[in-house]
Amino acid sequence: MKMRIVKTVFFEAARRVRRNGAAEPRLTGASYRADLVAEGEIDPAVGWVVDYADMKALFDPVCRRLDHCCLDDIPGLEDDASPERVAAWAREQMRPHPAWFREIRVSVVGDGRFAPETLPADPLEGLPARVGFSFAAAQSLPQLPETHPCHRLHGHTYRVEAAADGGEALVDALREMHGTLNDRHINTVPGLEQATCERICAHIWRFLEERGLGPRAVVVQETPNNRCVCLGDAAGGDGT
């Protein structure tokens, strides 16, 4: 009986794209998902097709080259850094393939479009009902040592959640905010030269305050595992 198992790994990277027929590419970024697929018979001795740790070990050297970088700067991806091409490149890097290897799939997390959704209150985190959306951007943290991976140009698909007074005015403000952040090098936005998750939270908080919307919570999720929550005065601060 054949089984197929999948090991999923995320990496964060920037890339250069041309939009709307522009002559020069612009920087953007995203969170990427890599699905490493194994297939085979169940080993009667241990009860699995392959150890997930062995799958991770196969992909780890490739992931280290892809993570926290600009994909176009990798030899072999200069002319095409699409997810399909990245997958084909990664497949070659992992040769010779173990017997259990079937394929690797690479996809972008989200598409960066403004698609707001209403989220219910979260009593566990003390969050009120809020509006959520995503944006994709390139970034770096030049204030960190050069040896830190976040010092390098890379990218994220950010998830933002915001609660504020204003009803439909909040959605309109967040749409405007999305337009200033999505599909660009976020360090070029005034105030985000050091674009930590915390600074992005504070930036969005001030953006809403300046429009008289009375923010009550802002959440910025940078990767599937990391996020920052700002509650302003309720958290003992002022959102800055």
pLDDT tens sequence across 41-64: 999 999 999 999 999 999 999 999
Q: Pick from 58, 78, 108: which residue ends a domain?
A: 108
Residue with tokens 């612009």: 26
Q: Average pLDDT, whole number, for the chain?
A: 92
131 and 189 in a common domain: yes
On the 0-12 / 13-18 / 19+ scale of CB atoms within 10 A, 234 is: exposed
Q: Are residue 47 and residue 14 in the same domain, yes or no?
A: yes
* Domain coverage including residue 178: 117-235
What residues form DSSP beta bridges with 158?
A: 135
pTM of the model: 0.90
Residue 80 lies in a domain: yes
Residue 139 lies in a domain: yes
In a domain, 28, yes or no: yes
Q: Compute the distance between CA of residue 218 and CA of residue 164 in angstroms, rounded to an integer.
A: 9
Same domain, 192 and 104: no
Co-location of 121 and 225 in the same domain: yes
CATH number at residue 178: 3.30.479.10
Q: How far is CA 100 from the centre of its chain?
A: 29
Residue 6 φ/ψ, nearest 5 degrees: -130, 130
- Judge whether residue 19 has pLDDT over 80: no
Distance CA 56, CA 63 (A): 9
- Does residue 240 belong to any structural domain of this protein? no
